[in-house]
Amino acid sequence: MTRFHRIDAHHHLWDLSAVHYPWLMAKGEKRFFGDPQPIQRDFLLDEFRAMAMAEGFSGSVHIQVGAESGLAEAQWVDEQAKANPDWPLVQVAFADLTAPDLNQTLDQLQQLGSVRGIRQIVGRAPEEDAQTGTNALINNPAFAEGLAELARRGLSFDLQLIPEFMADMAALLAKTPDLNVALCHAGSPYDRSAEGIAKWQDQLRPLAELPHVFCKISGLGMFDHDWTTDRFAPIVTTCLDAFGSGRCMVGSNFPVDRLYSDYNRLMTAFKTLIPEDQHDAVFGSTAQKFYRMEG
């Protein structure tokens, strides 16, 4: 008997008086996902869980979201988890896997009981990636060694990147078969034309062929602000076909995806598109096992 029924596998929280997020508080700067102005306010657990509980969720996974200090963010999230034992909350924290003091950082993070893994973003969108240069992580030997260190420590890795780099990333991840990896946002299929979807489907294959890579059906509104359930359909179906329900999990990406829809509409779309006999896995047990939320 599993303890939790439904797990939101990808969301964010922030208290702007407790932790500083430079990207979030920037004024007049549009991002690849749109204008953040409507979400430039506190988004706390009480508000999130009210929406999630209305859709049958009873636990969640917080994903790091660009705080000035990744450790400060992780400590704050851990405090929220401890203060709300009736809402199982675990987290994926930030660490720079190429930093010389990585082991010290991971030691500090692993003192926090809610930490399950690390995310260091490899890619967001082509234009932003050209400015940040984060795609270069794939060919950085220190990054590869950092991934191996996560595996040694039993931590997972949340992978966010764009389709063009999936083949190279798959080749790298093939060298760390003991590292559980969660592909964020279905691999960011930013080109929603028929040709773009077809190309993304091909690019996804090398990652899907690795049994230790899992897929999050999340963040789909970031590149389609006027989305419909039908427009989500080929993405959701591809993920389920490529990875199987045992390696797929649903995440709201709230409050970022709140820019495009409310929680009920988003989850109704996912419930419609995911076959009912796969709901238990995709809405719950996959994330529960991946993020070690059983107990």
**Any domain includes 31:** yes
**Any domain includes 295:** no
Mind listing the pLDDT tens digit for each residue in 254-269? 999 999 999 999 999 9
Q: Mean pLDDT over residues 127-140, rounded?
A: 96
**Any domain includes 273:** yes
The mean pLDDT value of the chain amounts to: 96
Task: Output the domain CATH number for residue 262.
Answer: 3.20.20.140
Q: How far apart are alpha carbons 74 and 64 in whole angstroms?
A: 8
Look at the block and give the residue holding tokens 């209305």: 54
Q: How confident is the model at residue 30 (pLDDT cuts 50, 70, 90)?
A: confident
Which tokens sit at 256?
């970022």
Mind listing the pLDDT tens digit for each residue in 65-83? 999 999 999 999 999 999 9
**Any domain includes 101:** yes
Could you tell me which residue, 7 or 3, shows the higher pLDDT? 7
Q: Inform me whether the pLDDT recorded for 3 exceeds 80.
A: no
Mind listing the pLDDT tens digit for each residue in 223-249? 999 999 999 999 999 999 999 999 999
Q: The domain containing residue 214 runs over which residues?
A: 7-290
Find residue 43's DSSP bridge partners.
14
Mind listing the pLDDT tens digit for each residue in 144-202? 999 999 999 999 999 999 999 999 999 999 999 999 999 999 999 999 999 999 999 99
**By C-alpha distance, which of 265, 172, 252 is closest to 220?**
252
Burial code (b: 16+ CB inside 10 Å, e: under 16) for 222-244 equals bbeeebeeeebebbbebbbebbb
pLDDT score at 1: 35
Asked whether 208 and 219 are in contact (CB, 8 A), the reply is no
Asked whether 40 and 22 are in contact (CB, 8 A), the reply is no
pLDDT score at 272: 98
Q: What is the DSSP string of 223-280?
A: G-TT--HHHHHHHHHHHHHHH-GGGEEE---TTGGGGT--HHHHHHHHHHHS-GGGHH
CB atoms within 10 A of CB 218: 27
- 3-state class (DSSP) for residue 106: helix
Q: Mean pLDDT over residues 250-255, rounded?
A: 98
**Any domain includes 2:** no
Q: How many residues does the chain have?
A: 295
**Any domain includes 275:** yes
- 3-state class (DSSP) for residue 201: helix
Peptide linkage before 177 cis (omega within 30 of 0): no
Percent of the chain with pLDDT over 70: 98
- As for how many domains the chain has, the answer is 1
CA distances from residue 25 to 19, 20, 22, 115 in whole angstroms, order as listed: 11, 8, 5, 25
Could you tell me which residue, 4 or 46, shows the higher pLDDT? 46
Angle between helix 45-54 and helix 263-273 axes, rounded to 10 deg: 40
Alpha helix stretches (DSSP H) within 1-140: 22-25, 45-54, 70-83, 102-109, 126-132
Q: How confident is the model at residue 295 (pLDDT cuts 50, 70, 90)?
A: very low
